[in-house]
Structure 1
Amino acid sequence: MSQDSATATEAARKLTGRRRREVVAVLLFSGGPIFESSIPLSVFGIDRQDAGVPRYRLLVCGGEEGPLRTTGGLELTAPYGLEAISRAGTVVVPAWRSITSPPPAEALDALRRAHEEGARIVGLCTGAFVLAAAGLLDGRPATTHWMYAPTLAKRYPSVHVDPRELFVDDGDVLTSAGTAAGIDLCLHIVRTDHGTEAAGALARRLVVPPRRSGGQERYLDRSLPEEIGSDPLAEVVAWALEHLHEQFDVETLAARAYMSRRTFDRRFRSLTGSAPLQWLITQRVLQAQRLLETSDYSVDEVAGRCGFRSPVALRGHFRRQLGSSPAAYRAAYRARRPQGVAESAATVVETMVPSQGPPSGRRGSPLPSAPVVLTASVGSGDHSLPGPEAFVPGRPALPGQRSAP
């Protein structure tokens, strides 16, 4: 889209008189997960003016006939129907029940009409599939949970899916990754509407970092998209995962698939939502993480066992994806690991220190932050996660953590 046409489009989409940005409609469907659905309800539906958070008006709308069945068999009754969307300047779709089935046509029409009249449209996690089905993501950058990104890219090839981002702000249409990233995007909306102080006050009430840097790369695993199982590329991808310790490049994978590099790149991106080179680097970094956590190999040896051509290459990619050097990552992991707990009985959860730089998303680049590895042990009373005091202003920060603003 050219700059002139984009400007004209924006001008044509100014909010109509009956729509105001602080009126937020949350569109719920039967079968949606209750956790994701509750995020915008908590952010925009609770009066926190005593904490300095400007008030929003919340309209909870049923996207189809109720009652709406959700996680655990609970039934919900939405106080409003689709007609209430006509009053909202912000419309949030927090989740969709199936990434392979089409949403109700009436709901899609309501979203298109809201967008045409200047409303800001937000899709959290699988809610991006509803926005895509309405055609609101055509030709736009977007994200969703990394596990569903390949399906989104395959079902809607005109959408520029980026599985690395926590959220993407494309002006009047915004999308986020999984559950916690939905909170990130909602905080970003509050920050956009009312400034940093309001977003920071809300973050403290929610006991979450006001900003997270980095993306989804550190949460990716080695699993393959469901759709790739019967595809000819499945064997090539499986081979790559089994031979990460060897030095090979994308040309090698294309040759194994009997394709030109250009054709292979296109087919691979359509199936996985990622460029093959970026996918391969991510898999090598993930393998390096595992070896740093579970072995005593030196960093140089880890680099060789993960297919990097040199330790310098490993360090560069590791820092870009995780914000830390391999040696610092290993030291932090071992320092936090509970003593006397078997390796298989520990779940490592990595989070990033709140950054003062721009949030992850299309607008701006995050400042680098040092990662803190937090370990929650299974069957143990030691859960080394920061408590609410970690985000209270004026309270000293935990070791390795910045003070809250």
Structure 2
Amino acid sequence: MATEEKEIDYTLNNPDTLTKYKTAAQISEKVLAEVSKLCVPGEKIVTICQKGDKLIEEEISKVYRGKKVHKGFAHPTTVSPSSFVTPYTPLLSDENEASVEIRPDEPIKIQLGAQIDGFGSIVCDTILAGNKEDDVTGRKADLILATHYANELLLRLMLPPGLLASGTDEEKAKAAAAKPPSQSRITSLLEKVVKSYDCNLVESTTSWLFDRNEIEGKKKIVIAPGEGTKGEGVPEVGEVWGVEMGVSLGSGKVKQLENRATLHRRTLQTYGLKRPTSRKILSEVQKKFGTFPFSLRQLDDERDAKSGVVECVRGNVFRQYEVVGDKDGEPVARLLTTIAITKNGITKLGGPPALDVSKYKTDNKITDEEVLKILEQPLSRNTGKNKNKKKKKPAKKAAAAPKDDDEDDEEDSDDE
């Protein structure tokens, strides 16, 4: 008698799910650190992207060996120059773009990600190319600090109301009954942070609900929404999110750039593709990348990819990510953190490395008491697993007078 196949639980209730997310995150963070070292003035961006992808493949091959688990990219390596907002991944076959080099001291956005069994962890960091030891001053210091503290605030605004509440049962119930902040309220609070540093939020910066084989789920939070864009839903316990922050030294308004769109993602739409090259690259994408983003650079034949992708986009089989930049050509910084929301708070699965804020010197600081109060709040409940960790300095002091304040690694104590 045939036994019924048990349906697999892919939610965070299954410890295996969290393990796969964390494994993917560890790979993403490790490769991010290595790619950051490659971003030196004079190095070609396409070369860095190629090396980053190779590193992801090497690290992926070391985990879940011999198991029937699909694993690979959650996002290709992208390296975006100063004023670029979206991930940028040039092609070798395009001479002009293949020759683009890193410029000294420009804010470079590195984004990449790995996935295990469809559970992806994407990370993004902004670094100042070539700056190793020197203190950062002036407007670049403002940009990095504004992005850092806005990101810290947004992460805290992702916490469901009352999740970490303390006090009597009545006080906890009251906290839990509070409404989560609206998306316009989130934008308003974040604007207070970035304007403290004379910066602006990047228009329509979007955080998405993640799911298995899906990085743009049914919920999204859109900050500083542009025309025709709006967020949907609120974060809840048991969810994984890709939390994004974008800050500009300009107005924050964006425009589509002339660069070729090279980043795509397969949709679940079906369409009778007529061209052999279109069918060929669709088959290759399905096998290699599933429904995760990929660069045309990663396909076997770039020239076939450039011609075949046209019909795939037209038939809505692929989604095309246009290349977007700051409207004023001003420097932009971005961060992206993959988080899990559990009953104990927020776990940073994968994200940019902790920022040494003492390295960034500016006379600007956050003075809004409401913002400072939120920044002081923990991201997770102290479960007593990390008793030997040194006590962190409160974010309020750090934001008011930047000092070394990695207040964020306590989240690993929180999980199931």
Q: TM-score, normalised by structure 2?
A: 0.25
Q: TM-score, normalised by structure 1?
A: 0.25
Structure with bigger helix share is 1
Higher relative contact order (CA 8 A, sep 6+): 2
Structure with bigger strand share is 2
Q: Which has the larger radius of gyration?
A: 1
